[in-house]
Every structure is written in structure tokens, then in C-alpha cells.
Amino acid sequence: MKLSVSAGLLCLALMLCGCTRKQPSSSVPKPTATGVALVEVSGGKQSGSVGTSLAQPVVVQVNDEQGNGVTGALVSFRGPREVSFDPPAGLTDSSGQFTTNVSIGGMAGRDQLIASTPAKSGKTVDLKIEEIVLGYQEVVGRELSEQYCARCHNSESSAERVSNFDNLEIKPHGFTEGDTLNKMTDADLTAIISHGGPALNKSALMPPYGYTLSKSDIQALIAYIRMVSDPPYHAPGMLYAQQ
Amino acid sequence: MQSSNNHRSLWQRLFGDPIRAFGTLGVIILVSLAIAPAKNHFSEWRHYQNAYLSMIRGRGEAVTLQRHFEGGIQQIWHPELGVVDRCTTCHVGLKETSLTDVSLQPFRTHPVIPHKLDQFGCVMCHRGQGVATTVEEAHSSTLAWEQPLLPARYLESSCGQCHRQPLVGTPQLNQGRELLARSGCVHCHTVKLPEGGTMKGTDDPPPLLHIADKTTREWIFAWLKDPQAYAVSARMPNFKLSDADARDISAFLIANSTSASGDALSLPASVQKAADPTAGASLYGESFCATCHAVQNAAGNLVGGNIGPELTRIGSKAKPEWLAAWITNPRIYDPPTEMPHYRFSEQQVATLAGYLQAKTDSDFLANVHLEPATPEQIAHGKLLVTEYGCASCHEIGGIQKPENFAPELTRIGSKPISQLIFVAGMPHTLSDYIAGKLRQPRAFAPGLKMPQYSFTPAQVDALTTALLALNERSQTLPSALSVAAPPESHYRPAGKAGQLIGDLACLSCHRINGRGSDLAPDLTWEGSSVQRKWLEDFLRNPNTLRPALIRRMPKFNLKPDEITTLSDYMMTVYETPAFDRDSMPVSGYAPAEIEHGRQLFYSKYACQSCHIVDAKADKGYIGPTLTEVGSRLNAAWIYNWLKNPQSLRPGTIEPNRNMGDEDSHALTAFLMSQKGSAKQGAKK
């Protein structure tokens, strides 16, 4: 009995934890160079709904000792189950960069991607890149945030959505500002969204949305804010679960 | 010989005499009796349940979790939906909200969704085999069961089985449905809707009746060969025609075209001479052509809207006389066009036409040299036009719109895999098949007619999502579960004003009574909202209310009697039954109340975060500027708007402040006191 349980657990562990995907590497040409370091150029900390392709590709760069890009070095990507890369491996271009399109996983949360390149010393240099996977509730939150919040809370301006951020004397917090927002409890966030800034002695320019958004809308907004937070948000009382 | 000896001896050893036979049979029966319990004992699901139990043992809330746990095969059963799901046998922690931190499957908590988990079961959304109790059979497709789990990227399609209206939480499905209607798919493929009727295309492919007035045979040839070479944003897909086929189709279309009267306009030479190119650019800007039309800039990016065709190389396409006639009045060439009939002066037409005519690309037609068409080529062209179903989208003289030209897609989302032909090396799933068809339709077999679209990967995903939602279940749902899309509005404004509204294509930007676009404010209750004098001034010379917007109402150069007709109609017909427009005065509010309103505006409600009343001090650029609101809106509208903005314009982002009568009244008094100055009318 015990044996079968532990065998089952082992199976489980094998199936579900060590689930790195084997990437076909047959089509990748032979590397002509190696570097000593691997750095992220762009494409990290994007968010998308479960299973979708990220809007921007992930770009990494292989550098030599002087920090200059190395051309022709091999870079390969791996990630949790269901994450796929197009292409999964290849050689760096003339500026030392390698670009891949990423389809994120099917579980809401954070996907840790690992880019690696063989270093001169014979060891492999790894680079961790994090992408954010939004579940249903977070997608609802994102859509509501785009509609109601982003005009003030996002300083980026576009022709379709002009940002009011620069016009406000007391600057609203961007939703990725984990250092500030992680300190606020769910109850705090609910209060400030429902009753406006004055509910927490904050700027009165933040209007109340309690009569505009439903309770589940507000929960979805909070779920979204928690999900995109940087550094990541950890709900209180969840620490023992790490074991 | 030796082996048969052995065989015989084994037989004799086991069944040689009655006692041996009895003993052997007994052992065989015992072993076979043990097979079923052993199979049960070593079944996959039991391992998972045991693993779950040992996992929760180490947690703080073990007792609660233990109490919720039920061993054995679990099942969600909804006979009316055909749902028999045993997924919860292994996915034990789905409802345990305290397990959100567990990332080990199959024990994760189900993410929050708007339905209860056992309301519809699992396969309704995730597909797969609900009755299976092994990982392989439940998740993958096997010989007997061919329904694998739906990949997460297409999950929103499941919402679309019941919900046919756009939902906040399904942006990908919404986009896919919009693309399905906009990309011309439904012109060839029929999609029947469960509530009756078929899906209608929202694109507006141009009629080709008078095509020879508009452009040259050379342009048609180059366009047919590669529409995206002419305009990157072109909606017409690439039919991958050979040179000879494109030559013959262009020959037929030109020979088949009839001339429309008034379709070509020779402007007086004096007017043409006076046109200067810099004036063209500013007239293009002032007329807000970019709201609908895009032009590629030097960096290769498209700048402008996607309602009308891209104009980057319009000079290589349009004949000058046609362009002048089109700008003068587009409704002569294409009566139902979405393009407004600007009332341009001859001089303006010449300026704008000259500016657009200069947008040429010498490379585009450089290598196109066509001999005069022969009757055989024209006849062959006609044949090709019929074969490729061109008339499914375009109106072509003498050719009927074909019925059921391409396979119906009403149930494409549950097409059996056994009926599909896959490309070698492609995963054998329905979603891969659909996505593959959208990417490269001609790769599936030689001689297929479906053209090559240039969808982005995200668009392919969105379309696949929308197509997967068109399945057997969506057609056969109990009517109580089916959430129909809001009925299509066939609203058409009547009379003389209705004709004007059609001529100016107001519904290309505004929505009225559920029909039209959402580019500009909904005008359904405009008559209750604004004051007549303001409306007339605005129609005469539209001034923006939102300084930060780049898309604005263009000036149509309306004549005074047209302005009167439109204003009369809007003030009387577009009135809400919710309140009487004239129930509150335009002015004469007590100074004390106005002052009270001002305080409410700036302190209690902090309206200045989005609106501007004092042009010098306030910086709110989100809502409309309110410096002249007292001369623009009716007091009763403001009062009722403040109490509940969404009741007057559903979906407006102005938050509902649940304002009481007294505050609304005071704020109305303050806002009505903002009459602006005469000078501001001239400001841009």
C-alpha cells in the first residue's frame, strides 16, 4: 500500500513537476561563437490570457566579457509545460540578439521561462524571464481597468486613449507598482475603488466606482492588480504552503 | 516434435487427472476473481486521491479539507445537457479556495469564473471525455473518443456556446466574431444562428458595376495578383492567381463595366490650376479623412482609421475624373457607401483630389503591361469570376450572387476528426485544423479555392476561438441557457432629415437607436441633451468638446436649410421619455446655489479630475470640456445625468455618484452658469 502510494507520488512528481518540454534542435545550425553572459533585452513581464501568444516577442542578448553582443551564439528557451516558443532555439543575429515568440501556459499565474546559452567555460549560462498569465477573472479586471482606470493610472498616452496622468498633481499609482500596492489589503483596495480616494485619506481626484461597478467587477480589478504587481504579490497567511 | 511433446506434458501436468484439473481450475478462478479488485486498487484515480490526502495532511487547514474530501469516483451529472463528468474524481481540490497556492496538478483550485463549478460540469468548457477515469482517456483523443481537451488559448470559445453577445471577459472571442463578420468569411460560408437567421457581413465590398470609371485594367491586374502590395491593410485576400488568370479577370471586369452618369467630373482648368499641394494636406487634416482612412508614413506605419480603404497609393489606382466625382458626391458611384457626402466647393474638390492623386507608387504598376483583351480572354475571365465566387462579395453586372458557395460553418466547432483531411505533420485536432486552414487554406489539397488571408497570429487565434464556438451544442442548447445577442437594429431615420442623415453617413460614426458605430457619441437622446442653438452652431462649424481627441466631427459645409432640417428632426425625434427637457430653466439660478454647486464640483465630487470648467486652472482632459456647458446642455439633462449617467447613456465611463436631489440641483445650477464667452466659439 505504502509502496503504491509512493510510486504514485513519484509518477505524479515526474509527470507534473519535471515537465520541461524537449525542444527539437535539429533545425538549429551549428553555433559559431560563445559568450559569457545572457541578458534580457525586451519582452519580459508581459501579460496575456491563458494559453495565448504574447503580443511582443522575447528578445535576449548574448554578451562577451566586454558586454558586447556575440553573433552566432546558440540560445535555447525552455519553460513550464504548455509554454511554447517559436523558434525554441537559434543563433544570435549580428547584434548578438535572439528573438522568439512565446505562447504562455494554461494556468493563471507566473510562468518562469529560462533562456540558456553555452558559455566559453563549457558551462551553461541561464537567464530567468517571467511572464504573467491571466485567468478569466484577471482578464475581466484588465478590460475594466483599460476602460475605467488606465486613463489616469497609466501614464502611457496613445491617440485613442490620451492619458490624464501628467495633468494630475497627486500622481496615481500604476497598477504594477507592487512596492506600494502590495502593502494595501484587499479590503483597502475595495474601499478606495468603491468609495474613492478620501476613503483612505488619499487624493479626492480618485472618484468612487461603487455605484458603477459591481462587486464582482471590483474583485476582478483587484485580482488583476495583484496579478500584474511587480514585485509579485503574496497573499497574507500563505507562507506555510511553500513546503 | 519436441515442442508438441512439451506441450502435451504441460497439459498433462496441469489437467492430467481430475484432482489436478480441479486444483488448477480453482487457482485460475481465484486469480480471475482478484483481477477486478486489483485493477480498482491500482487505478490511477486512487493514486491521485491518496496523493491528495497526503498533501493536505501537511497543511494548516487539513481538518477542513479532510472533511470536504469524498473518496471514490465522483460525478457531475446533467442529463439534459448530456454532461457526465468524472473529472472531480482526480481534480479533488477544485472548490478548495485555500489551495490557490498549490501549483501541483490535479489539485489546483479552479480559477474564479462566473458560474458554479457543478452548474455545467467540466467538459462543457474544457471538452475532453467526461466519463473517462484515466488521465490519457480523459485528456487526449483516442480511437473511440476523439474529443481531446480544448487548448487553453481557445477556452473563450466555450463561453460563446451559450453567450452570443460580447462579454467583458471574452475579448478574444469578441474579436474573433468581429473578424468573422468583417473579413468577408460569411459572404461565402453560411453561418446559421440558433436564434434564427444567418450571420451578416459587416464589411462593405465595393460594387464592380462601374469599375472602369474608377480605375484601369492594369491596376485591377496588379491588385488581383497581390492586394496587400497595393495596400498593406487591404481586406481583400490573395487568390494566388496566375498572370493569365489575372489578365483575363481584369479583361472581363473592364469589358463588363458600364458607365454611371455623373461618375466622372472634369473640373474647370482654372480651378485645377489654383490648387496648391500644401492646401491639400491641410484640407485632408481639417476634413478628418484620417478618422476612416489610413496612409503609410515614411517609417512604414499606418496612420489613420480602418473604416475606409487605405490611401497610401491612391494616385496609382483612381482615375482623376473619377476621384473628383467621388469626392464631390460618393453616393453617385456607390449609393450605400459609408463615406459621407461632404459638401465641398469645386476649389476644395480640386485641392483634395490633386493632393490624393499625388500619392502614387511608381513601382506598383511598373511591370504591368497588358495587351488589348481578346474576346476569348474576356469569356475566360467571366468563367473565372464565376468559379472563384467573386460575386459572393462584389456586385458584378450579369453575374448572380452564388448560394452556398463554400461549406457551411454553422457546426464547424464539432466537426468529427474522421471527416477532416490533415496536412502531413500537423497535430490531428480540430483546433489545429481550423487554425491551419486560416493560415494556409490552399495547403490542405490541390485545387482549393479559399484565398490566402494575411491574418496575424493573434487574429488566427481569435477566429479559431469564434469558429470553435459554432458547434452542435450551441445549436441544440435548451433555450433557457442560450443568451442571444441583442437583436440587430434596423433603425432608419425617416423623411427629409433621414435622407440627410444617410447622405452625411452619420451612422458611420454615431449610433442611434442601436444602429451605427461607436466612434462618436450615441445620439439616441441628443434632442433631450443639447440646446437647439448650440446644435445648429455645431452643425455649422463643429468645435471639439474634447481637446485631447484626434478624431473629431468634420465640417460638412451644410447649407442653412439643411441645418434647420437636421436640428428640427433631432430636437423632436431624439428625445428621451425619461424626463421633460424643458422642466428646468436654462438660467436664473440663485447665486448662493451656484456657489454651493461650485464647492461641490471642486471638493466633494472633485469633477476637475476629468473635466475643465476654468480653462486656466483645471486640467481634466478625460470628459468633455465644460467651460460652455450652460450654453450647450439642457438643465434637466445635466440634473438627470448627474443622478445616474448610465441610465441615459449605457456604458459611459462617468462614475455614478449616487447623487441626491439637492447636490444634483446645486451642481446643475453651477454648470448652467458656465455660459462660456463668445470668443471661445472661434477657438480650435
> pLDDT band for position B572 (50/70/90)?
very high
In the CATH hierarchy, which fold is given to the domain comprising B495-573? Cytochrome Bc1 Complex; Chain D, domain 2 (1.10.760)
- Optimal mutation site among A212, A221, A234, interface B, most CBs of chain B within 10 A: A212
What is the pLDDT confidence band of residue B269, given thresholds at 50, 70 and 90? low
Domains identified in chain A and CATH numbers: 25-134 (2.60.40.10), 136-236 (1.10.760.10)
DSSP B310-330: P-TTHHHHS-HHHHHHHHH-G
**In this model, does residue B680 exceed pLDDT 70?**
no
Nearest beta carbon to residue B548 from set A8, A162, A210: A162
In sequence order, the 6+-apart residues with CB closer than 8 A to the CB of B167 are B159, B173, B174
| Nearest Cα to Cα of residue B412 among B469, B480, B490, B451 | B469
Report the SS3 class of residue B251.
Answer: helix
Domain B581-682 class, CATH top level = mainly alpha
Q: What is the CA B592 to chain-centroid distance, rounded?
A: 50
Do the Cβ atoms of A212 and B655 come within 8 Å? yes
Partners of B83 in the β-ladder: B78
A86: left (phi over 0), alpha (psi -120 to 50) or beta: beta
Q: Which of B168, B172, B174, B545 would you mutate first to test chain A, the one with the most A CBs within 10 A?
A: B168
Using the beta-carbon criterion (under 8 Å), do B51 and A8 form an inter-chain contact? yes
pLDDT on residue A19:
40
Instruction: Give the long-range contacts of residues B63-70, CB within 8 A, separation 24 or more.
Output: B64/B98, B65/B93, B65/B96, B65/B98, B65/B99, B68/B95, B68/B96
Joined together, the cell numbers standing for residue B64 give 477542513
Inter-chain CB proximity B622 and A152 less than 8 Å: yes
Average pLDDT over every residue of B449-462: 93
Query: So what's the pLDDT on residue B683?
Result: 37
Report yes or no: B112 at the A interface, CB cutoff 8 Å. yes
In contact, A23 and A89? CB cutoff 8 Å: yes
pLDDT at A240: 45
Contacts of B114 in chain A (CB under 8 A): 136, 216
Q: Which CATH architecture has domain B160-202+406-476?
A: Sandwich (2.60)
pLDDT of residue B427: 86
First vs last C-alpha separation in chain A: 24
pLDDT at B285 over 80: yes
Query: Stretch B47-53: mean pLDDT, rounded?
Result: 88
Return the pLDDT at B105: 81
Q: Grid coordinates standing for B649?
A: 447613456
Q: Is B62 on the interface with A (CB under 8 A)?
A: no
Average pLDDT over residues B664-676: 94
* pLDDT higher than threshold 70 for residue B35: yes
Render pLDDT for B524-536 as a digit per residue (tens, 0 to 9): 999 999 999 999 9
pLDDT at A241 over 50: no
Bridge partners, residue A116, by sequence: A76, A126
Per-residue pLDDT tens over the stretch B383-402: 999 999 999 999 998 899 99
Size of interface A-B (CB pairs under 8 A): 134
Half-sphere exposure of B41 (CA within 13 A, CB side): 9
Does B153 sit within 8 Å of A52, measured CB to CB?
Answer: yes
CA distance A113 to A127: 8
Residue from the list A106, A137, A167 with its beta carbon closest to the beta carbon of B621: A167
- Hey, is the C-beta of A147 within 8 angstroms of any chain B C-beta? yes
Can you give the pTM of this predicted structure? 0.87
| B153/A8 CB distance under 8 A | no
Q: Which helix (H) or strand (E) holds B177?
A: helix B171-182
Mean of all residue pLDDT scores within chain B = 88
Q: B177-209: per-residue pLDDT in tens?
A: 999 999 999 999 999 988 888 998 988 899 999
**B653 contact A CB<8A:** yes
Distance CA B107, CA B605 (A): 47
Q: What confidence score (pLDDT) does residue B273 get?
A: 62
| A contact residues 148-187, partner B, Cβ 8 Å cutoff | 148, 151-152, 159, 162, 164, 167-168
Quick one: closest CA in B to A172, which residue? B609
Contacts of residue B154 in chain A, CB cutoff 8 Å?
51
Contact of B54 with A5, CB cutoff 8 Å: yes
* Band (A106; pLDDT cuts 50, 70, 90): confident
Beta strands in B252-401, from DSSP E residues, in sequence order:
294-296, 302-304
Intervals of CATH 2.60.40.420 along chain B = 160-202+406-476
Question: For chain B, what percent of residues have pLDDT higher than 70?
Answer: 94
Which residue among A8, A106, A107 places its CB closest to the CB of B47? A8
Q: Which residues of A touch B108 (CB under 8 A)?
A: 107
Structure confidence at residue A226 (pLDDT): 94
pLDDT band at B145 (very low <50, low <70, confident <90, very high): low
Residue range(s) occupied by CATH 1.10.760.10 in chain B: 211-381, 495-573, 581-682
Q: Is B617 on the interface with A (CB under 8 A)?
A: no
Window 539-578 of B: residues touching A by CB (8 A cutoff) are 548-550
Q: Is A12's pLDDT higher than 50? A: no
What is the pLDDT, as a whole number, of residue B272?
Answer: 64
Q: How confident is the model at residue A20 (pLDDT cuts 50, 70, 90)?
A: very low
Distance from CA of A131 to the nearest CA of B (A): 15
Name the residue among B41, B111, B549 with its Cβ closest to that of A108.
B111
Nearest to A164 among B151, B152, B621 (CB): B621
Residue of A11, A101, A140, A192 to mutate, interface with B, max B Cβ within 10 Å: A140
Burial of A182 (0-12, 13-18, 19+ CB in 10 A): middle
Give B297-353 pLDDT, tens digit per residue.
888 888 888 889 999 999 999 999 999 999 999 998 998 899 999 999 988 999 999
State mean pLDDT over A208-221.
95
Quote the pLDDT of residue B6: 60
More confident residue, B13 or B30: B30
- Does A106 reach chain B within 8 Å, measured CB to CB? yes
Confidence at residue B181, expressed as pLDDT on a 0 to 100 scale:
93
What is the Cα–Cα distance from B358 to B356, expressed in whole angstroms?
5
B599 and A CB contact within 8 Å? no
Chain B nearest-CA residue for A171: B609
Residues with Cβ within 8 Å of residue A104, at least 6 apart in sequence: A48, A50, A51, A52, A53, A54, A83, A111, A131, A133
Helix (H, G, I), strand (E, B) or coil at A235: coil
User: What is the assigned CATH class of domain B211-381?
Assistant: mainly alpha
Q: What per-residue confidence (pLDDT) applies to A227?
A: 93
Residue range A218-239, pLDDT digits in tens: 999 999 999 999 898 988 765 4
**B112 contacts A219? CB cut-off 8 A:** yes
* pLDDT, average across residues B230-253: 94
A137 interaction partners in chain B (CB closer than 8 Å): 111-113, 169
Report the residue from B42, B153, B610 with minimal CB separation from A4: B42
